[in-house]
Amino acid sequence: MDSEMAIKDQIVEVGRRLYANKFIAAADGNVSARVGDVLYFTPTGMCKGFLKPEDIVTTDLTGKKIEGSRNPSSEALMHLEIYRLRLDVNAVVHAHPPYATGYAVAGLALDKALLPEVILAMGCIPLAEYSTPTTEEVARVIRGLVPGHDALLLSNHGAVTYGKDLETAYYRMETLEHFARISIVAKILGRERVLSEDDLRRLYASQYKGVQEGNMAVKLSPSPGCPLPAESLAASDEETVTLTRSQLFEIIDEIVNRVQRQ
Ligand SMILES: [Zn+2]
């Protein structure tokens, strides 16, 4: 197990990377780690790019401060909920990376089967409904999504990733933002060629084979974190019709007129 000093150093380093990569601005974002019954939090109200180990605050598993001259992250309730729901998780990273947050502001999930490596690393990335940041509402809206996913978009807010250690949680944030950038470029180029169900089946099968052969690098959980294949997107496209309000009223008027003429 890492020493207390090593954990604080790692949190400082994750904060530095988040700021250097522009995943956060000013005093945005927060990072935490769990070691046994102790949680380590970045402090609230400070830029996470320039923290020192002594700025890190420790709390118990209910968020009650144990040690530190500062106060823990204002989003501590979100972190606590993730630790409560996922005993396998020992680190949480919350940031506002601009491309992924653009999806969250547009009300779009990153849930299409587009990149094999992202699918294997994180499954799909759903969009949690909007909730007021720093309140208990955030814990409520992520509750149903946390058990089956390792990364979430938060509507009109940002993203949160988590994993077995700080490195895993941070790299998931990096992968999420990279995936959002690639998705936007594909959209600008005019189309996203989504992998088929068959492609996904073969992708998952290739990894199970790897596990059987002793390669334990990738642990799969295809469901419910499985992204949407081309077939299900085509099906939903067929069922969706978009009309303006005036087009809708025209159709209603037309139907009413026909009924009245009969
Ligand atoms: Zn935030």
Give me ligand 1 centre to Cα 62, in Å. Answer: 20
Give distance in angstroms: CA of 25 to centre of ligand 1: 10
Instruction: Tell me how far the alpha carbon of residue 30 lies from the centroid of ligand 1, in angstroms.
Output: 8
Q: Is 75 a catalytic residue?
A: yes
Predicted confidence (pLDDT) at residue 200 exceeds the cutoff of 60: yes
Residue 97 pLDDT > 90, yes or no? yes
- Catalytic residue, from 75, 117, 137, 174: name it: 75
- In this structure, of 89-93, 112-116, 248-252, the range with the lowest mean pLDDT score is 248-252
Q: Please give the model's pTM, rounded to 2 decimal places.
A: 0.85
Collapse the DSSP code of 33 into the 3-class scheme (helix H, G, I; strand E, B; otherwise coil) and give the result: strand
CA 192 to CA 242: how far, in whole Å? 20
DSSP letter for each residue of 79-97: HHHHHHH-TT--EEEEE--
Q: Is the pLDDT of residue 122 over 50?
A: yes
CA–centroid distance, 171 to ligand 1, in Å, is: 18
- pLDDT for 8 beyond 70: yes
Q: Is 214's pLDDT higher than 50?
A: no
Most confident of 76-90, 110-124, 194-208: 76-90
pLDDT computed for residue 224 by the predictor: 52
Give the C-alpha separation, 1 to 35, whole Å.
8
d(CA 7, CA 160): 19
The one-letter code for the residue type at 149 is H
The 158-163 sheet, strands edge to edge = 65-67, 57-59, 38-41, 30-35, 91-95, 158-163, 151-154, 127-128
Cα–ligand 1 centroid distance for 28 (angstroms): 6
